[in-house]
Every structure is written in C-alpha cells, then in structure tokens.
Structure 1
Amino acid sequence: MNHVLRGLAANTALPFELVDRLVSVADADIADSLADRADLSREQAVALATGFAESAVLLAYEGLLSAADVDPVVWPQAALALLDEGTDAPEWARLLAADPQVERREKLAACPGLPPDVREMLSADPDVCVVAELALWTTADMAARLARHPHAEVRRAVAANEATPPDVLAMLVTGEGLLPAERCLVCDREQTPFVHDPECARLDCDLWPGASCAGSHESTLLETAALALQNPATPTEAVVRFAEHPSTLLRGRLAARRDLPPEVRARLADDPEPDVRAVLAENPGTEDALIRMLATDSGYDVQRRLAHNPRVPLDVLSRLAGTVKIGPDLLPRIAAASPAEVKELSRSSNPAVRMLLAERRDLPAEIRDALAADPDAKVVKSIAPHPGLSEAQLRSMVERHGVRVISKVATNPDASPALLEDLTRHVPPVPKAFREIAQHSNATGPALLACLADRRARPLAAGHPALPPPVIVELLADDDCRVAEAAAANPSLPPAVMWELVPEPDSA
C-alpha cells in the first residue's frame, strides 16, 4: 500500500487536476480514499467506479453515482446500493432477484420499496437466508404470510420486523394457531441432537455460539421469543408470561419493555438474576417505588444502570453518586434537570454529585464558574471542557490540580494557543494531553512540534494544518506509515510537493 498517495487522495486541498491524475493511477486502497471525497465530479466518480467495482458501491451510497451511471449487469453491487437508497428501478430489482449469487439476492431482500412481484420471487427463494432477510424488512402482509413459513429461521426474522402485525407477533410468541417449524439452520447442517461449541475452530462454520437443536429447534425458538420481546409491536399480554421463564435472556428482554403491568415489574424486581434487575433498573417505565427499592440492590450493575435511568429521582441519584462508579458520563436525569434543580445540584456537599452536573455543557455562567473553582479535582476535571471558560480560569485549574486536569483542559474549545503551548511543556508531561492538543483547532506550530514526540499523538499532529509545511514534508518519509499518510492528507502540504508526489499516468 502506498500510504502517501492514500493520504493525498483524502487531502481536501488536493487540486482538481491531481484528483484526476490519482483516479487514473489508483490502486484499490487509493480508490477507497478517493471515493470518500465530497468534491469528486461525476466524470471522476464514473472513471473511479469503472476501475474499481468496490468503489462503485461507496460512490453510489455517497450519491456520486446515479441510476443513469450504473449498469446493473456490470455493477450489480452498485445497483443494489442505489436500490438500498430508495432508487425506483423495478427492472433492476427483477434482474437481481434472479441473480445466481445468494449474497446479492439477500442484499436485495433488505431493500425498501420492492415491487410485489419481486417480493414474491424472494419469498420463494431456494436459499432460506434470502427469505429470512426479506422477512426481516418486508411489509406487514408479507410478514404475516412468512410467519407460517416451515423454516424457523424465517419465523425468527419475522419476530424482529416492527412491521409485523401485533396478532402475528403474539402467535409467534405463544405458538397458538401455528404449526411447529420443520427445520432450522442447525438441523439443516448438523446431525441432531447438536450443540454448537462456542470455541468451534471450523473456518467454514457460521452457526452462532451455543446454537442447538435436538429436534425442536430450541436455540432458534429462544431467539425468536427474544426478538419478539424486543419488538415494540408485540402485544403486552402476549409477553407477560415470560416473567417466570427459566431463560435469563428472555426475562431480561421482558424487563426492558416499558409497557409492563406494575405486578410484572414487581416480580422482575425480585428476580434472582442481577442482570435482569439491572435492565429493569434502567427502564424508564419503572415506578418510583421500585426505583427506590433497586437503589439498595447491591447486585452486579444494578445501581449503576439505575443511575442511567432518566426518571431516577435526584435524591436517589445523589445517594448513588457517592457509592457507584458512574464515570464521566452525562446522565440522562442530569441532562434533563431544571434550572432550579441545576442550582440545587451545584450546591451539593457531595463532590460526586457536582462532578455529574459538571458534565453538562450548557450550564449558566455563574454555576459553570463556581464549578471551575471547585476544590475537588474530579469536579474540575469534568467542567474543564465547558465552553466559555476564560484563560485565567483554565490556568488556575492547572495550577491547583496539575496532571489530574491537564488533558481535560486541553480539550476546552476556548483554550488559547499560548495555553496549549504551555501545557506541552508541563513537568511531568501528560501523554493524553499531547493527543488532545494535536487535534485542537487552536494548536500552534510549536505545540504541534512538541506533540510529535509522543508516539500516539504523532499521527494526529502530522495531519494538523498549523504544522509548519517543511515539517509536513519531512514526515512524508516517516517510519510510521500512519504518520506519513496523515502528513500527505494535511491541507497545508505545499501544492508543489503534491504535484511531485503524484505520478503521471504513463509512469505509474
């Protein structure tokens, strides 16, 4: 792979004429980079697609190839991409529905707006994977028909399709009015009874870990129920029975539903498996009384998931903040806090609560400034990236808390060029800060030169437009191919060097 030319292909400052030249000398890797360019002309896109069918797919998805540019016989994958994007070309769909390659028919089956006759063809496809893919995306009427398909894999796909009618989903869950499936992917391929080894070493095996069949297609039926439970169109009355099911997977999927009767949620709150209780704890439909009960649940991940519930009361969240490792996340309940609640949280005696509030990036100036002056480093670390902080405030953070906050100060969008330079000179150095500075829009040449000394920051700094052009040119020969590619993609690379790097078509 020529990493320099690959980088040049992504360079936004590359002259139009050099894009032309690169198209004519490209290999597959360079073509991939060129296909991502937003400024390709139609002629360049067609020329690139002519040489590289894989690029034709990317160009079709990017809207750089239209139906007028694509011959479905020559570029079937590009035609499929356009159909997937909603292009109205029924004749293409009919052609591809008869394609000898299963993968193409399977891709077609997932495309929206297929003509009725094409859906009929795909529903009768000899490969069950094609029919299952159709079942996953098709219309309500076709999904209702495919729910009675003799193959369990097709029914499994119907259960995941949100267009499937509720009564059909209920039938799949309960089995009432439905003949048993005759086959599944496991008994299609293996002598039953069979349980797929999770450590299976066969390179040609695509059965999922634990897939099993003893004649009743057990693992596929379990997956069907799990997908139906996850499907919001499945009626509540059809799923409540799973509160007592022996499968932790199914009880967990049930616990995630927002439409459960209170008595079912109460049963799940007493589930013996903490995984199930944790899912219920994060469910926005869980009642206040159960939330308060789950707040005392020491089972694995229950309290942490509860903290992410958008309806958790602030007093409960405040208690959790002191005992649960939540991390630097903006919690939904904190994000939704009212102005009065924000003020209350900012005055909490618990620094963990103030830290959670400091993750917001829309705080009133007086609260932002108070948190910037907080004596606790965790709070300051969270507020440091907040826009609107002055240089004096950012420098004060570094003076008071040093290495604990430097990398976060370096992410602040208002960090000045002088401050960023000073952060690169801090003793001891903070490697993560170098990586942040190397991406900062205010980084200067001296700051970026310092970043080049850090192995992980070096590729980032090599692509920064503020890096001095002579240094960019030197980095084109760097031993690290990522650095060389980033330097070639740097828009500050001198145009004369770009012309020297791209070979003439005849000499390529």
Structure 2
Amino acid sequence: MNHVLCGLAVNPALPSELVDRLITAAGEDLAEALAKREDLTRAQALALASRTEQCVAHLVKRGLLTADDVDPVAQPLAALALLDEGAGRPAWARLLAVDPSLERREWLADCPGLPSDVEEILAADANIEVVTNLAWRTTPGTAARLAEHPHAEVRRMVAANKATPPEVLAALLTGEGLPPARWCLDCDRVETPFTPDPECPTLGLCLPPEASCDGSHEFTVHETHLNALRNPATPVAAVIGFADHPSTLVCHQLADRPDLPAAMYERLADSPDSYVRTALAENPAIGDGLIRVLAVDPDANVRRALARNPHVPLEVLTLLADTAKVGSTLLPRIATASPAEIEELAASPNSAVRMLLAERRDLPSGIRDALATDPDAKVVKSIAPHPGLSEARLRSMVDRHGAQVIAKVAQNPDASPALLESLARHRPPAQKAFREIARHRNATASALLACLPDRRARSVAAGHPALPPQVIAELLTDDDWNVVEAAAANPSLPPATMVKLVP
C-alpha cells in the first residue's frame, strides 16, 4: 500500500485534475480512499467504478452510481451494492441467485426486499451460509417457513430476525409444532456425539470451544434460545418459562428484556451471578424497590450499571457516586436532571456528586463557573471542557491543579491559541494533553510543533492545517505510516508537492 497516495486521495485540497490522475492509477486501496472524497464528481465516480469494484459500495451509498450505470454481468458487486440499498433491479437478483460465487450469493441473501421467487431459490441453496443469511433478514412468511428448516443453524438465525412472527419465535423457544432439526454446524464438522476437549489445540479452528452435539444439537439450540430471548418480537408468555433456567447467559438475556413481570425481575435479582444482576441493574423497566436493593449490591459492577439506569432516583445516585466509581461519563439521570435538581447537585457537599454534574455541557453559566473554581481536581477536570468558560478561568484551573487538568482544559472548544501554546510548554509535560492540543481547531504552529515528539499525538498533529507546510512535507517520509497518511491528507500540503507525488 502506498500510504502517501492513500493520504492524498482524501486530501480535501487536492485539485480535481490530480484526483483524475489518481483514479487512473488506482488499485483497490487507493480506489476505496478516493470513493470517500466529498467533492467526487459523477464522471469521476464512473471512472473509479470501472477501475475496481471494491469501492462501489461507497459510491452507491452516496448516490454516485445508479442502476442505469451498472451492467450486472460485468459488475456484479456494483449490482449487489445497489440491491443492498434497495435501488437495484429484480432481474439482477434473479441472475445473482444462481451465481457460481458463494460470496455473491451470501451477499444477495442479506439484501432487503428480494422478490419472492428469488427468496425461494436462496432458501433451497446447497450452501448453508446462504440460507442462514436469508433467514436473518427475510420477510415474516419466509422466516416462518425457514423455522422448519432441517438445519439448526438456519433456525438460529430465524430466531434473531426481528421480522419473524411472534408465534414462530415462541415455537423456536419451546420446540412445539416444529419438526426436530437434523443437522447443526457442529455435527457437520465432527462425528457425534461430540463434546469439547480442552486439550485439543485445533478445536478453535473449526468449532467454538463450548460447542457440543450429542445428536440433539444442544449447543445450537441453546444459541437459538438466546437469539429468541433477545428478540423484542418474542412474546413474554414464551419467555416466562425460562425464568429458572440454569444458564447464566439465558438469565442475562432475560434481565435485559424491558417487558417482564415485576416478579421475574425480583427472581433475577437473587441470581448468584453478578453478570445477571449487572444486566438487571441497567434495565429501565425495573421498579424503585429493586433499584434500592441493587444499590447496595456487593458487586461494584452491579452498582456501576445501576448508576447508568435512566430511572435511578437522584438520592440513590448520590449514594452510588462514591461506591460505584462511574468515572468521567455523563449519566442518563444526570442528563435529564431538572433545573431545581441541578441546583441541588451543584450544592452537594460530596465532590463525587458534583463531578457527575460537571459532565453536563449545558449548565447555567453561574453553576458552570462555580464548578470551575471547585477545590476538588476531579470536579475541575469534568467541567474543564464545558463551552463558555473564560480564558482566565481555564488558566486558573491549570495554576491550581497543574498536570491533573491540562488534558481536559485542552479539550475546551474555546481554548485560545495562546492558552494552547502555554499548555504545550507546561512543565512537567502532560502527555495526554498533546493529543488534545494536536486536534484542537485553535492550535498554532508553535503548539503543534511541541506535540510532534509525542508518539501518540504525532499522527494527529501531522494532519492539522496550521502545521507549517515545510514540516508537513518532511513528515511524508516518517517511519510511522499513520503519520505519513495524515501528512499527505493535510490540506496545507503545498500544491507543488502534491503534483510531484501524484503519478
């Protein structure tokens, strides 16, 4: 791969005539990069599609290729990309349904809105991957028919299809009314009865480590149940029967569902497995009483998940602030706090609570400025990226808390060029700050040059338009290909250099 040309291909300042020259020289990698250009003309798109089909999906999604531009025999991938977008022609689907390429038939089976006769052809395909792709995306009628397919893997994918009728999903859970499956992927590949051997070094090459089949295809049936349980179209009446299932994965899927009776949620809260209780804690459908039970769960992951529940009461969230260790993230309940609740949270004596509030980016100016002067560095770090803070307040944060807050101050969209230069020169240096400075729109050449020695910031700085043109050109020979591509994509790269680089 030529990283200089791939970078140039997405450079917004590359003149149109140089884009034409790149198209003429484009292989697969270069064509994919060119296909993402915002200024690509229709004529250039057609020329690019004629070079290689690997880029046509991008061109189709952007409306630069239409059905009138494509010959399905000469350009089957372009035809498939259009069918995938619902913009192809039925005759193409009939042609591709019998294509000798397995990869193309698999893609076709994944396309929406196929004619019924094409679905029938694909449903009878000799390759199970084609049929499973169809089962995952097909219409309710075809899904119902495929639920009776003799291969268990097809049924597994029917269970994941949100268009599958509820009564069919129920049958996949209970097995009632369906003939037994005759094959699964496990018994297709190894002789049954089969159970995994942890000592077998080649096991993972052909089967999942937990795969097993004694003739009843138990592993695939279990996966089918999981798919049906996570499918929102599965009726609750069919789900309730799994309340006491011994599988942790099954109980986890139940704990995720928003439509269970309250009594079922209470039973799941008694699960000895914290994985199940964690899923339950984040479920918006659980009641206030259960929330308060989970707030004192011994497992920190459960309490952390509860803090993310949009319906957790503020007084419970206040208690969780210390024990859950949520980190710097905006919690849903904080995001929806009313003006009165914001005032209450801002006045909390608990700095962990004030830190959670400081993650909002729409705070009243008075509260924002008060949090900017908070004595706790955690609170200041959270409020530092808030828009509207004056330069004086931002500098005061750095003066009081130093390297602890510099990276967050550098994230502030209103940070001035002079402030960013000062942050880049800070001693001791704050390594995380260099990346933030390098991507900031207000970064100056001086600040960017200070970022270049940092390995993780170098590729970001190489793409910043404020970097001096001579430095950008020098970075085209850097040892790191990420830096090379970023420099080549930099719109401040001198035009004369671009001309020399394009074949």
Task: Encode CA deviations 1:148-173: one digit per residue, 9 max, x unaligned.
Answer: 11111111111111111111111111
- When the two structures are aligned, how many residues end up with a matched partner? 503
Aligned pairs for 1:83-482 (under 5 A) are: 83-196=83-196, 202=202, 205-299=205-299, 301-482=301-482
Residues of 2 paired with 1:5 and 1:248: CA distance? 50
Partner Cα distance (2:228, 2:160) in 1? 6
Shift of 1:300: 5.2
Farther off after superposition, 300-309 or 390-399 = 300-309
In 1, the alpha carbon distance for the partners of 2:234 and 2:95 equals: 35
The CA distance in 1 between the partners of 2:320 and 2:232, in whole Å, is 30
Aligned counterparts of 2:491 and 2:136: Cα–Cα separation in 1: 44
| Structural RMSD (CA) | 1.6
Q: Summarize the Cα distance change of 1:399–1:303 in structure 2 as closer, same or farther, 3 Å threshold.
A: same
* Contact 1:90 1:115 (C-alpha < 8 Å) held by counterparts: yes
Once the two structures are overlaid, the 10-residue window that deviates more, 297-306 or 85-94, is 297-306
Secondary structure in structure 1 of the residue aligned to 2:39: coil
Cα distance change of structure 1 residues 211 and 448 upon mapping to structure 2, 3 Å threshold = same
Is the CA contact (8 Å cut-off) linking 2:307 and 2:317 kept in structure 1? yes
Q: Post-superposition shift, 1:405?
A: 0.3
- Residues 203, 241 of structure 1: alpha-carbon distance in 2 compared, 3 angstrom cutoff: closer
* Distance of 2:137 and 2:438 partners within structure 1: 44
Q: How far is 1:198 from its partner?
A: 7.4
CA shift digits 1:254-292 (9 cap, x unpaired): 011111111111111111111111111111000100110
Report percent identity of matched pairs.
67
Residues 1:134 and 1:267: Cα distance change in structure 2 (over 3 Å): same
Deviations 1:296-325 (A, max 9, x none): 111351111111111111111110111121
The SS at the match of 1:322 is: helix
Q: CA deviation at 1:101?
A: 1.7
**Residue number in structure 1 paired with 2:18:** 18
* Cα pair distance change 1:15/1:201, threshold 3 Å: farther
CA contact (8 A) 2:80 2:88 kept: no
Q: Which runs of no fewer than 5 residues in structure 2 stay unpaired?
A: none
What does residue 5 of structure 1 align with? 5
Contact 1:282 1:305 in 2 (8 A): yes
> Where does the alignment leave 5 or more consecutive residues of structure 1 unmatched?
504-508
**8 Å Cα contact 2:186-2:212 kept in structure 1:** yes
Can you list the C-alpha shifts for 1:190-243, whole angstroms capped at 9, x where unaligned?
Answer: 101223567975599453331221111011111111111101111111111212
Change (3 A) 1:42 1:161: same
- In structure 1, distance between residues paired with 2:134 and 2:2: 41
Change (3 A) 1:325 1:283: same
Instruction: Name the CA distance, whole Å, in 2 between partners of 1:34 and 1:405.
Output: 40
Q: Supply the distance in 2 between the matched residues of 1:87 and 1:386 (Cα, whole angstroms).
A: 44
Q: Distance in 2 between matches of 1:120 and 1:3?
A: 45
